[in-house]
């Protein structure tokens, strides 16, 4: 891989394996959970009914898995310069619940870079302030080709 082949992020930084990503932060509160549940038609009571959530063994209402996914997606898109369509794949496992008002941060590292296709695979992690891992996942993003069309894929 030559320097001209190295895909780069929005800021022109080379996307090299091991490079750090983020953090992208969010604090999904009870209002956001209500709004998100409404637009996705998710009426599962673990997301808004504290007593019911406790009866299920949770500490209280929890953030929806899909909302975690949206934050991971945002982090991957941000790495690709903010283009949401640059994210070609996203996977995650829910490891621990997050409560409304928790401060979430998505960080990660570049796992691999395919200079031929411009696709970069990211390892992602969403954590609480205390270090608890809520989600662990990965994304594949396609960095855009360079404006000069010579394949350097600089943005």
Partner 1 sequence: MEAVATAVDLAERRARALVGRVEHRSLGVVRAAEAAEFARAAGETSACLVDPEDAGFVVHPMYVVSLLRGVPGAGDEEFRPDGMYRDEVPGTDGLDVALMAGGQDVRWIADVRPGDRIDVRRTLTEVARKGRGTGFLLLTAEKTYGTAERGVLIEVTERFIVR
Count of residues in contact with partner 1, rule CB under 8 A: 40
Establish if 93 lies at the interface with partner 1 (CB under 8 A): yes
Cis peptide before 23 (omega within 30 of 0): yes
**CA–CA distance, 15 with 150 (Å, rounded to integer):** 17
Q: What is the SS3 assignment for 63-126?
A: CCHHHHHHHHHHHHHHHCCCCHHHEEEEEEEECCCCCCCCCEEEEEEEEEEECCCCEEEEEEEE
Question: Cβ 118 to partner 1, closest distance in Å?
Answer: 15
Establish if 2 lies at the interface with partner 1 (CB under 8 A): no
Nearer to partner 1, 42 or 146 (CB): 42
Q: Nearest to residue 31, comparing CAs of 67, 70, 75?
A: 67
Could you tell me which stretch among 81-89, 113-121, 122-130, 143-151 binds partner 1 (CB under 8 A)? Answer: 81-89
Nearer to partner 1, 32 or 111 (CB): 32
Q: Which of residues 8-67 bind partner 1 (CB under 8 A)?
A: 26, 28, 32, 35-36, 38-46, 49, 52, 56-57, 64-67
Residue 66: CB atoms within 10 A of its CB come to 12
Establish if 116 lies at the interface with partner 1 (CB under 8 A): no
Establish if 121 lies at the interface with partner 1 (CB under 8 A): no
Q: Which residue has the tokens 């894929």?
A: 153
Q: Which residues bind partner 1 (CB under 8 A)?
A: 26, 28, 32, 35-36, 38-46, 49, 52, 56-57, 64-67, 69-71, 73-74, 82, 84-85, 87-94, 135, 137
């Amino acid at each position: 891989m030559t320097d001209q082949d190295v895909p780069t992020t929005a800021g022109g930084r080379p996307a090299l394996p091991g490079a750090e990503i983020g953090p992208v932060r969010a604090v999904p509160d009870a209002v956001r959970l209500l709004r998100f549940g409404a637009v996705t038609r998710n009426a599962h009571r673990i997301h808004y009914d504290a007593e019911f959530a406790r009866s299920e063994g949770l500490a209280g209402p929890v953030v929806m898995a899909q909302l975690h996914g949206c934050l991971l997606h945002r982090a991957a898109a941000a790495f690709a310069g903010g283009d949401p369509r640059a994210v070609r794949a996203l996977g995650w496992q829910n490891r621990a619940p997050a409560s409304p008002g928790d401060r979430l941060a998505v960080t990660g590292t570049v796992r691999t870079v395919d200079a031929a296709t411009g696709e970069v695979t990211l390892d992602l992690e969403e954590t609480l302030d205390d270090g608890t891992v809520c989600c662990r996942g990965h994304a594949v993003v396609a960095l855009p080709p360079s404006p000069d069309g010579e394949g350097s894929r600089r943005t």
